Amino acid sequence: MNLNDPNLELVGDVARALVALDAVKDLAAFHLPYPAEAQRALDRLVLRTLRDRAAPPASVPGMVTFCQERPVVDWPLTLPSGLFAPGSRFVDEEYGYLTELCFEAATALGTAFPRESPVDTMLDDLAKRCQARQDAAAYSTFRRMLAESPVLDNEAVSTINFELPLGLLDDVIWNVYRKADERWADRGLYRACGGCSHLAIPLGADEWCCESDKCGEDVVESGGSWTDDEGPLHHLDRWHRQFVSRQAQAVLRLAGRLEAVGAKAEPWPRFGTYDLQILLSHGRTWGIRMVDWGNAALAGVTERPIDEPSTVDRVYRVVPGERLLADPGYLSTFRAFGPADGVEVVTDEEVLRTTEAALVPGGAGA
Ligand SMILES: [Zn+2]
């Protein structure tokens, strides 16, 4: 796939335009001037559409509707076959929120440095600061917090201030957590998704949904709730919800399963060189990098090479099994687009089985 293909650049521009519009807070009420990214993307989309003698969206709101009504594969563009799943959209067809695919495309397509997203920059900065203090515990505690505390009420804020060993990372914390605005409340009530514990989107009439593809509508029912009276709520911004927190939840789930079969699993060792380190007998260690994007090709495009494979005995990139349910060709697509650093790509089930075998004295993985 040629990332400099103008069609792919345009798809990335439209995705970034939608993200910029979403930051305006109320898509229904936004007014001129639109964010510059949105106007530019619209202009390019109109030109491209007219060239194909198709009907272009007439305005920025029209572009949003266009992205809600049309799957990406049905846009008047020539896109690499198989890159986008049939039916996948940037704006949820039913409820109008931006999909995970939109943020993945905004990160991966039409940018000069797809491996240097805003999220990567934040994590790099965090690692550097913790390294300078020689404080690996602060690094892993911070990463765990983003997974386990996606929503902070007053009590959670006090815990962070007084109990967690985060030292002087306050500014990093408040760069990634935002006050939850009124878009997340239904008549003063906020609810968490029972699947990922992030705030659920209110749909009215006491119906809620989760923005994550991994959470069905049913799991929203089992989450916690807060009312306006309990003081302001803070939650992670969308980039960190999607690319850091939910990915980290997959890391912790795998760590729990590895511990359950008798392995020792350490999340985010060495300031995040790996997402997980598996410690076996005789000092053997394996490093795990978790790959948890919906679109396998875009995941590959943005995946960074692993710099220090020599510090562990084996390295795996691990994809949660549920990603393969949605896309059975996930592993081969990721291999085709990912870095050529020789690191094996396997599912969580496979790494679990291999670890179990390695725990048996003289076993297959020993
Ligand atoms: Zn969820």
Question: Is 88 within a domain?
Answer: yes
Question: Is 15 within a domain?
Answer: yes
Mean pLDDT of 76-94: 91
Q: How many whole angstroms from 236 Cα to the centroid of ligand 1?
A: 13
Kindly give the interhelix angle for 36-51 and 60-69, rounded to the nearest 10 degrees: 60
CA 19 from centroid of its chain's CA atoms: 14
Backbone angles phi and psi of 343, in degrees to 5: -80, 130
Domain boundary among 108, 136, 153: 108
Residues 213 and 254 in one domain: no
Residues 355 and 271 in one domain: yes
Residues 297 and 202 in one domain: no
The pLDDT value given to residue 111: 86
202 lies in which domain range?
181-231
Mean pLDDT of 153-171: 78
Q: How many whole angstroms from 293 Cα to the centroid of ligand 1?
A: 15
Residues 251 and 227 in one domain: no
The pLDDT value given to residue 27: 54
Q: How many whole angstroms from 216 Cα to the centroid of ligand 1?
A: 7
Residues 337 and 260 in one domain: yes
Question: Is 99 within a domain?
Answer: yes
| CA 112 to each of CA 12, 64, 123, 300: distance values in angstroms, whole numbers, following the listed order | 11, 25, 19, 16
Residues 212 and 295 in one domain: no
The pLDDT value given to residue 33: 66
Rank 126-135, 159-168, 301-310 by mean pLDDT and report only the highest. 126-135
Question: Is 327 within a domain?
Answer: yes
Asked whether the predicted pLDDT for residue 3 surpasses 80, the reply is no
Reported confidence tier of residue 59, pLDDT bands at 50, 70, 90: confident
Q: DSSP letters of 25-57?
A: S-TTT--SSPPHHHHHHHHHHHHHHHHTTPPPP
The pLDDT value given to residue 309: 61
- DSSP helix/strand/coil, 91: strand
Exposure letters 326-360 (e unless 16+ CB within 10 A, then b)? ebeebbebbeebbeeeebebbbbebbbebbbebbe
Residues 227 and 249 in one domain: no
Question: Is 142 within a domain?
Answer: no
The pLDDT value given to residue 198: 96
Task: Report how far residue 135's alpha carbon sits from residue 282's, in angstroms, rounded to the nearest whole number.
Answer: 26
Contacts of 215 (CB under 8 A, 6+ apart): 193, 194, 195, 196
Q: How many whole angstroms from 215 Cα to the centroid of ligand 1?
A: 5
- DSSP helix/strand/coil, 7: helix
Is 7 in contact with 78 (CB distance < 8 Å)? Answer: yes
Is 178 in contact with 237 (CB distance < 8 Å)? Answer: yes
Amino acid at 231: G
Q: How many whole angstroms from 31 Cα to the centroid of ligand 1?
A: 31
Amino acid at 236: L
Q: How many whole angstroms from 262 Cα to the centroid of ligand 1?
A: 29
Domain boundary among 171, 202, 231: 231
Specify the higher pLDDT residue, 202 or 206: 202
Task: Report how far residue 315's alpha carbon sits from residue 288's, in angstroms, rounded to the nearest whole number.
Answer: 6
Residues 259 and 342 in one domain: yes
Reported confidence tier of residue 343, pLDDT bands at 50, 70, 90: very high
CATH number of the domain that residue 251 is part of: 3.40.1350
Asked whether the predicted pLDDT for residue 365 surpasses 90, the reply is no
The pLDDT value given to residue 308: 66
Q: How many domains does one find in the chain? A: 3
Write down the residue that tokens 């511990």 correspond to. 259
The pLDDT value given to residue 45: 81
Asked whether the predicted pLDDT for residue 172 surpasses 90, the reply is no
Q: How many whole angstroms from 200 Cα to the centroid of ligand 1?
A: 7
Reported confidence tier of residue 47, pLDDT bands at 50, 70, 90: confident
Rank 17-21, 22-26, 214-218 by mean pLDDT and report only the highest. 17-21
Asked whether the predicted pLDDT for residue 102 surpasses 80, the reply is yes
Q: How many whole angstroms from 337 Cα to the centroid of ligand 1?
A: 28
Backbone angles phi and psi of 236, in degrees to 5: -70, 150
Domain boundary among 199, 231, 263: 231
Residues 220 and 298 in one domain: no
Taking CA 299 as the corner, what is the angle to CA 345 and CA 75, rounded to the nearest 5 degrees? Answer: 135
Backbone angles phi and psi of 316, in degrees to 5: -130, 145
Taking CA 42 as the corner, what is the angle to CA 38 and CA 47, rounded to the nearest 5 degrees? Answer: 155
Q: How many whole angstroms from 87 Cα to the centroid of ligand 1?
A: 21
Q: How many whole angstroms from 269 Cα to the centroid of ligand 1?
A: 27
Give the global pTM: 0.91
Asked whether the predicted pLDDT for residue 333 surpasses 80, the reply is yes
Q: How many whole angstroms from 211 Cα to the centroid of ligand 1?
A: 7
The pLDDT value given to residue 83: 92
Q: How many whole angstroms from 219 Cα to the centroid of ligand 1?
A: 7
Is 133 in contact with 167 (CB distance < 8 Å)? Answer: yes
The pLDDT value given to residue 13: 92
| CA 178 to each of CA 208, 210, 236: distance values in angstroms, whole numbers, following the listed order | 21, 18, 6
Exposure letters 196-234 (e unless 16+ CB within 10 A, then b)? bbbbbbbbeeeebbbbbbbbeeebbeebeebeeeeeebb
| % of residues, the chain, pLDDT over 70 | 94
The pLDDT value given to residue 28: 54
